[in-house]
Amino acid sequence: MRSVTMEKPPTRLLADTQRTRCEVWTRVMGYHRPVASFNPGKQGEFNERRFFLQQPLRWTPAKPLATASHG
């Protein structure tokens, strides 16, 4: 079997005049808004947000409850 080696494409450096500004949007109170339209306080809150990845939930069937015998 023949192995295929993928070469990494060369890195292109762009001048600031060649770049396109990226507009960041976020969901606020059920609708999406651009972060640039936030007041300075809200922009600060947005910058303090912490992002995380949630692990998938592993479901296991429930075990029956032990019943105490009264005698």
Answer yes or no: is 68 within a domain: no
54 domain residue, yes or no: no
Q: What is the pLDDT of residue 57?
A: 85
- Determine, yes or no, domain membership for 39: yes
pLDDT over 60 (residue 16): yes
43 — alpha (psi -120 to 50), left (phi > 0) or beta? alpha
The label of the residue with tokens 């972060």 reads 35
- Whether residue 11 is contained in a domain is answered as no
29: domain range? 22-48
Average pLDDT over residues 36-49: 92
> How many independent structural domains does the chain possess?
1
Q: Report pTM.
A: 0.45
